[in-house]
Amino acid sequence: MSTTEQIDTKELGEKIVKVLKTIYDPEIPVDIYELGLIYDVFVNEDREVKILMTLTTPNCPVAESLPAEVESKVRSIKMVKSAEVEMTFDPPWSQDLMSEEAKLELGML
């Protein structure tokens, strides 16, 4: 890092995605990133992270714990100053949001 503490937001974004891929939906054996539950990851130069995510259903049994786990794991990345998870159900999650890898894993391809 330079003296101005410039960070590579792309590199940090990749680290965040790596961490997100370690978090699994308890009912589906696929990580939340490949499942399409992460709509967006914002990283600014102050190393503040905001994650826009959804759940498979609004009454998901992990509606309380999953966002907290995401926030906690992202916050544990050394370069991250703060992390905030915002939940949305617009657009609602659908199987179309799943990656090819997730569909393959679940035998949908």
What pLDDT shows up at residue 4?
39
Instruction: Report, as ranges of residue numbers, the positions in the chain whose pLDDT lies below 70.
Output: 1-7
Can you list the domains of the chain with their CATH numbers?
9-90 (3.30.300.130)
Per the CB < 8 A criterion, the answer to whether 53 and 68 are in contact is no
Which three-class secondary structure state does DSSP give residue 13?
A: helix
Residue of 69, 38, 35 lying closest to 51 (CA atoms): 38
What pLDDT shows up at residue 6?
60
| Residue 83 parent element (H or E) | strand 82-87
